[in-house]
Amino acid sequence: MNLQSIKLRYGIIGRSEGLDRALSTAVRVAPTMLSTLIMGESGVGKEVFSRIIHQLSPRKHEKFIAINCGAIPEGTINSELFGHEKGAFTGATGDRKGYFESYNKGTIFLDEIGEMPLETQAFLLRVLESGEFIRVGSSKMLKTDVRVVAATNVNLKERIQKGKFREDLYYRLNTVPIIVPPLRERQEDIYPLFRKFAIDFAEQYRTTSIRLDDRAKLLLESYTWPGNIRELKNISEQLSVMSEEKNISAEDLVDLMPTILNRNLPSLTGGKGGHTGSMEEREILYKLLFDMKQDLNDLKRLVIELVNTNDLRMPDMTNLPQLPAPTSSIDTYRPSEITRDYNDYIVESTDNQSRGNTGDRPILIDPNRPNNTYDRVEEVEENLSLADNEKELIQKALKKHKNRRKDAASELGISERTLYRKIQLYDL
C-alpha cells in the first residue's frame, strides 16, 4: 500500500517531506511486533498514526484502545491498566479486569506516556519484556499479549535526567521512533487542511464553504500554530460560523482572528485597530535594544582605547554628515543623546592644524605599524532563540516572586493559565 492510498484511507492531507517520512515509518513497522514511540507536539495527530499501525498489523481484527496517561489519577492508573482484586483498596467491591487483560491480542495506545508515574512505569516495563503483570491486591501472575504503541509531546530524555522517567523503559519503547512534524514545519499543508475543515463544516451544516484571498492565505500560512492541526480545525470552524462573508480578506481575517498576527519574531506587529505584538515579543525586543546599547558603549570604549594606545586621531564631529532622523515610532533613543554620549569619549586631537582642514581625513590606523601587531577579533554570535529568551524571562519572574505563579504571571503580563502552560512546555 503506497502513501497516497494511506492518506486517502485515513483522511490525511499533506505532502510535506516530514509527514511522508513519518507515514512511511509507520507503514514499515506496522506488520512487526516492535514497540513504537510516536513523538510530536500536542495536536499534530499522533493517535492517527497509532491507528494506522494497528490496522495495518496482523492484529487489525482485534480490539484497539487509546489511553491518555495524563488524564488518569496516579492513585488509580495501576488499577485501570492492570486490574484489581476485590478488597484491594477502598471502593474495590469486586474483581476488575484492566486494559492489558481486556485487550489481550489487541493494541493499546498509551498517549502522554511521559506523565505516567514511576511505579506504573516499572509494571509496564515488565509487561513489555515478558508479557506478565499482576492485578492490584493479587499475588497471581497473569499473562497478556498486547502490542504497545506509546506517544509523547515532551522530551523524554530530559525527564530521564530529572528522574521522572525510566531510562530502560525509554529504550524499550523507542525501538522504532516516529517523529510527527509540527504544523509550522508543514507550511505547504496549512491551506489544504484549512480548506478540508471548512468544506467538512459546510457539508455538515449545509452551507457554503468559506474561502480566503491570497493575502489572507499568506497570513494563515505565516502563523506559527502552537496548537497545530487541532488549533487549525477550531479556527476554520470559528471563521465558518462568525464570518458574514464567504470570501474572507486579510483584513476580515485579522478582525475575526487577531492572534493571526502573532509571530515568534522580536518585533512589534502593527495591525488593524492598533493591534500590537504579544507581551513576550515586546520583552524580547526591549532586551535586544538594551543589549545593543550596552554593546555600543563597549564598542566606544574599545575605540577610545585603540586611539589612546595606537597614536590615532579622532575625527572632528562638526565635519561629519548629519544622520537622518529615525522613522521608528519608538523614541527611546534620540540622535542628540547618541551624539552627546559619543562626544563624552572624544579625545582632543594632537594636531590642532588639522581641525580646520576639511581635506585632511582622520587617521584610523597607523600605516607605519606592522599588520601583525594588531590582535585578531573573534566574532561571537548572540543567542537569538525566542524560546530560550522567553524561558529565561519566565525563570527570572518565577525566581523574583519565589515561584508564586500568580504574581509571576502578573509581572509578565500574561494569564496564570498561560504561564502554567509555558512552565509545562519548558519543563521548569
For residue 326, is it within any domain? no
For residue 203, is it within any domain? yes
> Looking at the structure, do residues 24 and 65 belong to the same domain, yes or no?
yes
What confidence category does residue 347 fall into, taking pLDDT thresholds of 50, 70 and 90?
A: very low
With 0-12 / 13-18 / 19 or more C-beta atoms within 10 angstroms meaning exposed / middle / buried, residue 131 is middle
> Looking at the structure, do residues 223 and 285 belong to the same domain, yes or no?
no
Structural domain total, the chain: 4
> Looking at the structure, do residues 16 and 164 belong to the same domain, yes or no?
yes
**pLDDT digits over 262-279, tens only?**
665 444 444 444 444 444
Cα–Cα distance measured from residue 197 to residue 201, given in angstroms and rounded to the nearest whole number: 6
For residue 194, is it within any domain? yes
> Looking at the structure, do residues 160 and 214 belong to the same domain, yes or no?
no
Q: Which secondary-structure segment (H or E) carries 54? A: helix 46-55
C-alpha cell of 293? 546599547
Last residue of a domain, one of 139, 156, 181: 181
Last residue of a domain, one of 123, 156, 181: 181
- Report the percent of the chain where pLDDT is more than 90: 48
**Domain residue limits at 188:** 184-261
C-alpha cell of 22? 513519518
Is the model's pLDDT at 221 over the cut of 60?
yes
What local confidence, expressed as pLDDT, does residue 338 receive? 41
What local confidence, expressed as pLDDT, does residue 424 receive? 79
> Looking at the structure, do residues 188 and 167 belong to the same domain, yes or no?
no
Q: What is the mean pLDDT of residues 271-300?
A: 62
C-alpha 384: how far from its chain's center?
15
> Looking at the structure, do residues 189 and 163 belong to the same domain, yes or no?
no
> Looking at the structure, do residues 315 and 346 belong to the same domain, yes or no?
yes
For residue 235, is it within any domain? yes
> Looking at the structure, do residues 367 and 232 belong to the same domain, yes or no?
no
Cα–Cα distance measured from residue 387 to residue 49, given in angstroms and rounded to the nearest whole number: 28
> Looking at the structure, do residues 131 and 30 belong to the same domain, yes or no?
yes
Q: Which of 338, 44, 389, 379 is nearest to 183 (CA)?
A: 44
**pLDDT digits over 364-407, tens only?**
455 555 555 545 555 555 565 666 777 888 888 888 888 888 88
**pLDDT digits over 4-44, tens only?**
899 999 989 999 999 999 999 999 999 999 889 999 999 99
DSSP 64: E
